[in-house]
Structure 1
Amino acid sequence: MNNVENEWYARDTSKKIRAVWKAKSSAGKRLCTNPPYGYRKDPEDKELWLVDEEAARVVREIFSLCIAGFGPMQIAKRLQKEQVLNPTAYREAHGLIVGNPTPADPYHWDNKAVAAILERMEYLGHTVNFKVTKKSYKSKKRIKNPPEKWQILRDTHPAIIEQAQWDRVQELRKNKRRPTKTGKHNMFSGLVECADCGAKLYYCTSNYFEERQDHFVCSNYKSNTGSCTAHFIRAVVLEKLVLEHLQRTVQYVREYESEFVRSMGDKSVTERKKELAAKRRTLMQSQRRMEELDRLFGRLYEDNVSGKISDERFTKLSGGYEAEQKELQEKVAILQTELTGQEEQAMNLDRFLAIVKKYTEIEELTPTVLNEFVEKIIVHAPDKSTGKRVQQVEISYNCVGVIELPDTNATNSKTA
């Protein structure tokens, strides 16, 4: 009986602790004790996080290196070569609480630590609660919660990484780029897709290839026995095409920004703000009216119970209120969808314009430039019906997709 009572006590205590955590998170407070690498606690208020500039510079460098085409292992080796203290050694050197054992080599960076930094939403200025859980109070093993079970508290502390940069890093992390057997790398690896089957194009190279012989080919093509055709394109040709199109795009957007905004199906900044403000006002009015209808229906029900109005009158009035409320619910749902879509479109367009303004002139296509601008490149099968090899290549840009420039078919490029 004592064992049973002790188990009940432990179970009830666990339930109470979980309830306290949920209440604390619902109140907008973070559940972790120590801030992540790149932040420190405010000496005057332990609940506040401040940016630790020394560590934050390393975090920004890690994100920049990822956009430049480096993987977690390559980034870890580079930080170790530069003699940068790893997170545990850095905390210990600054007198902070250290949860992990002291490393033998304070400059050794683990690729898993780099990957964890690249995935942390805290660097956007948000607090993320309930990222881990336990099966029961009997187990000490922590299990990762799926993202849909996380509770995200937005804008709780200063951001270190911009949203656009963080989003681009997450996209790049989905397409892991493994080196070839020759040790060669290509900046287009993971970005080139087949137009017919949607598969990635493999980077093909050899120690016996000259640079002009390196090429990409559909991963589903296997010497005419696979499920797709070759979709062959040489790497040097692809680089030339992308660079030329990118140069024309940046020049056009910088010189004709207002025309570009309109061509993307968006309004001018002033018109966009007015339209969004009008829709927000309509949404608020509809929501207030729905709340008012709930109150009216409650009073109507009380009057019917007390005999102030007849059942017939109650049925007629309540039917009218319910019909109006249903119509308002549909209207509110449509308005919220439209607002979300327009705000996201406006935000994406602003992000793309901000990237364009960073570059006055692009003379060379580097991995950083490529990853900042290009989301994916779609390669079509070559057309030889005219006796010449003509191939269509679509360049989809981050935030805005395919861009068609005036007097130029921006989605079609010819390769010989």
Structure 2
Amino acid sequence: MKKAAIYCRLSEEDKNKLCATDDSGSIQNQKAMLVQYAEEQGWEVYQIYSDDDYTGADRRRPQFKRLLKDAEQHKFDIILCKTQSRFTRELELVEKYIHGLFPIWGIRFVSIVDNADTDNKGNKKSRQINGLVNEWYLEDMSDNIRSVLTNRRVNGLHIGAFALYGYRKDPDRKGHLLIDEEAAAVVREVFNLFAQGYGKTSIARILNTRGIPNPTEYKRQHGLRYKQAVSKNSTLWKYFAIADMLENEIYIGNMVQGKYGSVSYKTKQCKPRPKDQWYVVRGTHEPIIDQELWDKVCRRRAERSRPFSDGKIGIFARKARCAYCGYTLRSSKTQDRHYLQCPNRHISVEACPGAFIAVSHLEEAVLEELNRMAQEFLDKDEAAESVAFCKDLQKQKKCLQKEINTYRQKQEEYTTGIRNLYLDKVKGLLTEQDYLAMSKDFAGERDRLEHVIEDGEKQMRELEERIAIGDNRRALVEKYMNIEHLNREMVDTLIDYVVVGRRAKGTKTVPVEIHWNF
């Protein structure tokens, strides 16, 4: 007797049907229908796999994943569903599993309502058409969500879950912002201090010394459901928070949205959009900062962004990191000497001891270590080193790919969560306000993961290039032996990144850890 695995799925769009005849979409009726069909065919029911409240585009369904794992191990012979869309709405998965892996695993797929049966060669086209129709459903749903959000952005309505620091949502008018005077006073102070000549780190230090909570902590203290990982320094103002505030046009009454956009409903990825594609609507709300102060701050920001004339400061740009908090070190100049320091160095005594090193000292440390390693490497057997080199790169690639896959899975979970929230809103299970609040959290975390994935893919490409080139370390070492000074090209070629600490009292040595590209 053949064994049949029954798969049932109740999606969000099936819940709370108004018509009694639609009750066939319930899990109970699916199970009864499928069990009866299996008995009529003389099949033994191996197990019932059931996912409640999941959409057909969700690849993270727990029972769906278990079903596929058991299918691969051939614990049963047949997968039985009510319709093909209960199994998946994605054409890609139809081709991958129903037409691809299931025949290889010896698994027959049957859905009784739409008459899909992989043992029937003649209905393959109908299965593909079903998959295409389900795919269109996903695309239409994505377009509908996007059109609603675009319309609100074009009309200057705020669609975020939380208002920008300094504002609050208008309880009587959706999409409109009102000034939050308590936070707005801090915003005005930040702009005035910067216009008076204070640096961004200095402003952060001033606010932290007075115990003013940063925007994240402010939201929490005022009872907003703002979810973010709480760390030791999560309540402190930092350089980047001040920098972002000074660049945000919302503070002069202009609504700016759509800085990030999804690539397509298929990839579930969001990427930064060109500035000319942002949604900017002027005069949508009362400004906190007047135009005169805004213009003054813009001029000062432009002046401070000019690079040093000799370009020396750029040798270790984005290569040096703080040993204590992991932030990329920023450059500074004092009396013709160039330094690298942690941006968290001055925001608070408790925040970070603050890495600090002169560029010339870091250059000396790199050159000294490079020459030492060069001599040691050239003394070793080339063949043995080459084998070890290749094995190490392959190991790095495998670990990195595993991390990227994990981040992608998490990103898909957040995207699916947003889609499910929207369906709840459409069906009246969520209010507009609750939907925006909850979806904002998901979208923010999804966007953060997008940047993490981009960085990981960049590292993967670099690793693959190094593997393709092979062990060229001997040539590199010979090329850069006994050099007296570094330039940016050399640093990019030789160094992945450098970890810098802070000189301990009573010593003259700054701890430096160099991570090479070879």
TM range (shorter): 0.3 to 0.5
Task: Provide TM-score, normalisation by structure 2.
Answer: 0.33
Q: TM-score, normalised by structure 1?
A: 0.40
